[in-house]
Amino acid sequence: QVQLVESGGATVGSGDSLTLSCAASEVTLNYYAVGWFRQVPGGEREGIACISNRDGTTSYADSVKGRFTISRDNAKRTVNLQMQSLQPEDTAVYFCAADSAWLSYCSLTYTSMYGFWGQGTQVTVSS
């Protein structure tokens, strides 16, 4: 059973930057498609960034495009989400998800694509 652990959540001010990391127990994420999702209380889970495993194809939600970057740190065997120009509307619990299916795409909407999910990390952006 793959267990994912997110880290890096914090409370920051508007305009600040923050990097989240997703790590896995027992396996290396280097060969997994990984997605980052976020959810506010009472809201639906929103896919914001993902990276495929076969060729590194990335996809971003319009709400974060140009501000967030998903990348692999193969040495640390993590997938990171670098977030810049954070705004109060970015406040949410952020989750990473992963799957080993060898694909040249990833999905922000088809959450069933991902077989493994982390517990989430809180990001709060104050105005």
Instruction: Dump pLDDT digits (tens) for 38-86.
Output: 999 999 999 999 999 999 999 999 999 999 999 999 888 899 999 999 9
Q: What is the mean pLDDT of the chain?
A: 95
pLDDT number for residue 25 = 86
Number of Cβ atoms within 10 Å of the Cβ of 87: 13
Among 23, 47, 50, smallest CA distance to 37 is for 47
Q: Is 66 helix (H, G, I), strand (E, B) or coil?
A: coil
DSSP classification of residue 64: T
CB neighbours of residue 55 within 10 Å: 9
